[in-house]
Amino acid sequence: MLLVNGKHRIHGPFSLEKVRAVVEDKAIEPEGYEVKQSEDVARGELVPLASQSVLSTCRPCMGSDDETLCTAKSQWIAAVLKSLRLKHLGYLHFLGGVCVGGAEFLPSQSVPYPIPDKRNDNAFLTCSFLSDEKRDYKTYPLMRLIDDLRGSGVRTLSVAASRDVVFPNGPLEWFENKGFVDAGILVTEVLHKAEIHYLQLEL
C-alpha cells in the first residue's frame, strides 16, 4: 500500500501513471475492488514469512517477477525480525512452487499507524491475501498463524478490513465468518470506495 499526499491510499499492484495522477491531484474516479470470495480452501505448502521468502510475493503483490521490487520489503522484514527477536512475520502459501497467498502480522505496538488496541498481547494482521472466485488461498496460512499466536501467549488478533471490497484485506464479512468481531469504522477511503473497519478475534 502507498500513501500519497497524506490522504490517498493506493493498493498494489499500481502503475507509475496512476501514482503520478494521484500525486498531481488529478480527478480520479473512485474504484471499488470487489472480488467474490470462494469457499474452496486451497492447502499447499506453508513457508515462514521472512526476509528471503518475501521476495516470492512480487508476482501476487506487484504483478511482476522482478524481485528487486520487493527488496525494500525484504530489508524491512530483516530489521523487524532482528529488533523484535521474531523468527517470522507469518506464513506464505505456495502451490506448485508459486506464491498464491499469505498472512502477515506485527505485534500491535509495532504497527506504524494508529490502531485502537496497542496492548502487548494483541497482534495485528497487516496483510491477508489472496482469494478469487475459484479458490481461497488465504484461509490456510491465516489458520496456521492463529495457531502459532495462540501458542505464544497472544490473546487477540486484530485486522483492518473493508465492507464489500477487498482493499485492505477484506471483505469484512469474510473475517466475521472466521470469528472476528467488528469494533467499528476506522476510516473511509474514497479512492477505493472502502469503508474500513477494525475487527478483533479472541484467541
Break the chain into its structural domains and give their ranges.
Answer: 33-202
Mean pLDDT of 181-188: 89
Instruction: Please confirm whether the linkage preceding 171 is cis (ω < 30° from 0).
Output: yes
Which residue, 124, 128, 129, is CA-closest to 110?
124
Distances (CA, A) of 153 to 107, 127, 148, 156: 12, 21, 9, 9
In Å, how far are 57, 101, 171 from 66, measured between CA atoms? 10, 18, 29
In sequence order, the 6+-apart residues with CB closer than 8 A to the CB of 104 are 49, 89, 90, 125, 126, 127, 128
Look up the CATH superfamily of 33-202. Answer: Gcn5-related N-acetyltransferase (GNAT) (3.40.630.30)
pLDDT over 60 (residue 13) = no
Please give the pLDDT value at position 178: 94
Residue 123: pLDDT over 70: yes
Neighbour count for residue 80 (Cβ, 10 Å) = 15
Quote the CA–CA distance of 95 and 74 in Å, as a whole number.
21
49 near 88, Cβ under 8 Å? yes
pTM: 0.84
CB 101 within 8 A of CB 129: yes
Long-range contacts of 54-59 (CB under 8 A, 24+ apart): 54/92, 56/92, 56/94, 56/98, 56/99, 57/92, 57/99, 57/102, 59/98, 59/99
Q: Provide the pLDDT confidence category of residue 162 given band limits of 50, 70 and 90.
A: confident
Residue 110, all three cell numbers: 509495532
